[in-house]
Structure 1
Amino acid sequence: MTATEYVPIPARLDFDALVPAFARVVNQLDEAATAELDRVGIEPALRELVRLRASQLNGCAYCVDMHARAARRAGVTPQRVDAVAIWADSNLFTAAERAALDFTEQVTLLATTKVPESAVTAAVAAYGEEGAAALLTLVIAINTWNTIGVTTRCWPTAIRRRD
């Protein structure tokens, strides 16, 4: 193998083939979250930033790749996509986006954080109760996908020459 060859990461389980009914339900969960976000008017760009940040925290290579590309397609600048990993130290995010990203981190890391009241309060202040609840559905959905992806590695990250 040369220095320019990518290292293949083998799948552990073919999740979609092994539990197709469950895989369909997870997809329906994601669709339901998207419908709630549509209903409350949360923009696609923010959705992808939330998905990207949760996926970074969970270490899901497939989802990080997919949601970074989706964020750019939704109009997020490459600089902001790159800065999601360090959003708390970046001036590239609005107060409302920062509330959503903090909420995402607190929920994603809930075993450690216990989701402090301040994160929920900030999300409600920025998006209202329905918006905060819709954001929660998105974080639940992406964390479910991340759990599947990290555990099974069933979806390889595609190698692209261009985005």
Structure 2
Amino acid sequence: MTNTPANGSNPAPEIPPRMAWVDLIPDVFEGLVRLDTSARSGLDRSLLELVRIRASQINHCAFCLDIHTKAALAAGESVERIIQLSAWEESQHFYTERELAALELTEAVTVLTDGFVPDEAYNRAAAVFEEKELANLIASIVVINAWNRFGVSTRKTPGGFTLAQD
């Protein structure tokens, strides 16, 4: 199966998924869903989707990018701000102080190559989020990273996600 790009060019064939992990370990899937629901409690929907998109960009999770860009658009996020996320440090004027702090923290928690989240990133977020919000933000970053790792390692195929209508 292939998807036809909007520009009409010949699409590359899809890379087949490696496994249906959700069917194999449904208790883990349901646990992540519960954790995700609890983690996002009290966080602004737009900010949450920006964080999810940015972590998914870093982790190269096309499946999660498909889900969260569509969810962000449905929540009223602008195409321009979504497009600029991969270069948010050069496009700071598109984002609020809270969003910038959340994006910086997202990168720090997602990319742990130095072993620690830098004090500067944590302190910047702590200055603009109440302590419970910050805990929820960190939990949401951890959860999207877990989803990303399942998506990337099992090669979940992007493109088929549609939002449920309320």
Fold shared, TM-score > 0.5 on shorter chain? yes
Which consecutive residues of structure 1, in runs of 5 or more, have no partner in the other structure?
none
CA distance in 2 between counterparts of 1:159 and 1:148 reads: 17
SS of structure 2 residue aligned to 1:48? helix
Q: Which runs of 4+ in 1 moved over 3 A?
A: none
Count of residue pairs the alignment pairs up: 154
SS of structure 2 residue aligned to 1:8? coil
Candidates 127, 138, 143, aligned match of 1:125: 127
On the 8 A contact 2:54/2:86 being kept in 1, the answer is yes
C-alpha displacement of 1:116: 0.3
C-alpha displacement of 1:159: 5.5
C-alpha displacement of 1:52: 0.3
CA distance in 2 between counterparts of 1:123 and 1:85 reads: 19
- Summarize the alignment of residues 10-21 of structure 1 with structure 2, pairs less than 5 Å apart: 10-21=16-27
CA distance in 1 between counterparts of 2:146 and 2:160 reads: 24
TM-score, normalised to structure 1's length? 0.88
Match of 2:94, as an amino acid?
L
Matching of residue 8 in structure 1 with residue 14 in structure 2: yes
- Look up the match of 2:164: none
Aligned-residue identity in percent? 36
- Summarize the alignment of residues 13-162 of structure 1 with structure 2, pairs less than 5 Å apart: 13-35=19-41, 38=42, 42-90=43-91, 91-112=93-114, 114-153=116-155, 155-158=156-159
Deviates more, 1:109-118 or 1:63-72: 109-118
SS of structure 2 residue aligned to 1:111? coil
Match of 2:30, as an amino acid?
R
TM-score, normalised to structure 2's length? 0.86
Deviates more, 1:56-65 or 1:104-113: 104-113
CA distance in 2 between counterparts of 1:152 and 1:79 reads: 30
On the 8 A contact 1:106/1:113 being kept in 2, the answer is no
Match of 2:112, as an amino acid?
L
C-alpha displacement of 1:64: 0.7
CA distance in 2 between counterparts of 1:143 and 1:5 reads: 28
SS of structure 1 residue aligned to 2:157? coil
CA distance in 2 between counterparts of 1:97 and 1:113 reads: 24
On the 8 A contact 1:124/1:131 being kept in 2, the answer is no
C-alpha displacement of 1:111: 3.0
Report the structure, 1 or 2, having the larger helix content.
1
